[in-house]
Amino acid sequence: MSQVGGLPAWVDPELATLTADRFSDADWVFERKLDGERCLAFADAAGVRLLTRNQKDVTTTFPEITAAIAAQRHGDLLVDGEIVAFDGTQTRFERLQHRLGVLRPSAEVLRDVPVRYVVFDVLHADGRDVRDLPLLERKEVLARCLDLQDPLRSPEARQGDGEAFFAQACRDGWEGLVAKRADAPYRSGRSRDWLKFKCLGEQEFVIGGWTDPQRSRVGFGALLLGYVDTTGALVYAGKVGTGFDTATLRELSATLAGLEQESSPFGAGRPPPRQGVHWAAPKLVAQIGFAEWTDDGQLRQPRFLGLRDDKDPTEVGREMPS
């Protein structure tokens, strides 16, 4: 692994596996699932670097987080967490969208859309790689490394009582929980040591086209959505026409115009509509909330939440509980 100072240049984050199981177990820690952007924070003598899951540098996008970590750093440090924007007690990806892609936010933007960095794990501390330590021991290391006060935070968590905590999470309108095995090391990639309990249907989809606007609507009518199957084909999953304000309709319409192509990018499953449709190169990824999947593989009551620039379209598959 290449190094930058005493830290690795990059570590693939650990990812949770979606499951339909709900359980309580003293050997598991249950944490609030957050609706934001995954971020690794690297802090060493060279300074602080914030990198998203696809290694995009967002150090200047979130200067309040960069400064908070820099002010506390004692030796080399690498932590894992989620950057979120709160709306009351809820984390809202739609709200965070106003900060994404802004390289140097103005004082007004920083004031109007404050963000928090919810730090839930530590990978390196004081020149030591701690990924092989059990989760609970890493939590102790993390507590010694950082004082998690705004804009840094620790996740709401509970050990053992996953079922009651999940019921509370759904009542309170959270996205769900992430269950983590208390004695497991930190493993890059998707793992069953981390499991997702979802209250609400939500995942990323690739935008493969759009429909013409109707009546007084501007920009477009709906986005055509898909996901990549195991063969690499883009499978049509339905269309979404809600969740947009006028500014988003105009901006996204202009972006899509630059991606328009003559042929459909969808290659499997139920065919998308053909009338009043424009096809787009599958380059954009959207975060979509929805009620459920229908029996024929379509989204029920989808709602646009925002664009994601931290996900590769080729890696956007259908999330299925196991």
pLDDT in tens, 5-41: 489 999 999 999 999 899 999 999 999 999 999 999 9
Would you say residue 291 lies in a domain? yes
Is the predicted pLDDT of residue 268 greater than 80, yes or no? no
Would you say residue 113 lies in a domain? yes
Active site residue: 33, 139, 239, 311, which one? 33
56 as an active site residue: the answer is no
DSSP 152-209: EEPPPEEEE-HHHHHHHHHHTT--EEEEEETT----SEEEEEEEEEESSEEEEEEEEE
Would you say residue 6 lies in a domain? no
pLDDT, tens digit, for every residue of 57-114? 999 999 999 999 999 977 899 999 999 999 999 999 999 999 999 999 999 999 999 9
Of 168, 199, 230, which residue is a domain's last?
A: 199
Question: Is residue 60 located within the same domain as residue 120?
Answer: yes
Residue 3 pLDDT grade (very low, low, confident, very high; cuts 50, 70, 90): very low
Mean pLDDT of 165-174: 93
Regarding pTM above 0.75, the answer is yes
CATH number at residue 93: 3.30.470.30
User: What residues contact 108, with CB distance under 8 A and at least 6 apart?
Assistant: none
Question: Is residue 237 located within the same domain as residue 293?
Answer: yes
Domain count of the fold of the chain: 3
Question: Is residue 214 located within the same domain as residue 117?
Answer: no
Question: Is residue 79 located within the same domain as residue 41?
Answer: yes
Would you say residue 321 lies in a domain? no
**Per-residue model confidence (pLDDT) at position 4:** 40
